[in-house]
Amino acid sequence: EAGVTQFPSHSVIEKGQTVTLRCDPISGHDNLYWYRRVMGKEIKFLLHFVKESKQDESGMPNNRFLAERTGGTYSTLKVQPAELEDSGVYFCASSQDRDVPSLRGYTFGSGTRLTVV
């Protein structure tokens, strides 16, 4: 089966610009997660979709970040306007299991490396 696909793999933008990251989960996976790793820090949770609904968005840093998953398939994460501290690697993951702990784990995408200059 195809894995989790993220696009673009790299993005360099100027402060104040807008960037949209895309994630295509594994087909049939209801659960889609966004994570972020900033330089030198651990990967941190941003938000969780179950199909098209936001299940948990407690990790979103501020209102400059907007995530959508229209139709419950792919998801986008828009940063507008971007700030220097938004630089990092943004990972997407998907899983099939819903309300029970997943022993099969998550499948992560390769990430989008965002650099704001």
Binding site for another protein (CB under 8 A): 4, 31, 33, 35, 40-45, 48, 50, 55-56, 91, 93, 95, 98-99, 101-106, 108-111
Residues pairing with 7 in the sheet: 22
Pick 17 or 55: Cβ nearer another protein: 55
Report in angstroms how near the CB of residue 88 gets to another protein at its nearest: 13
Pick 65 or 109: Cβ nearer another protein: 109
Q: How far apart are CA 96 and CA 101, in angstroms?
A: 11
Q: How far apart are CA 103 and CA 48, in angstroms?
A: 18
Report in angstroms how near the CB of residue 62 gets to another protein at its nearest: 20
Cα separation values, 116 from 8, 28, 41, 78, Å = 14, 33, 17, 14
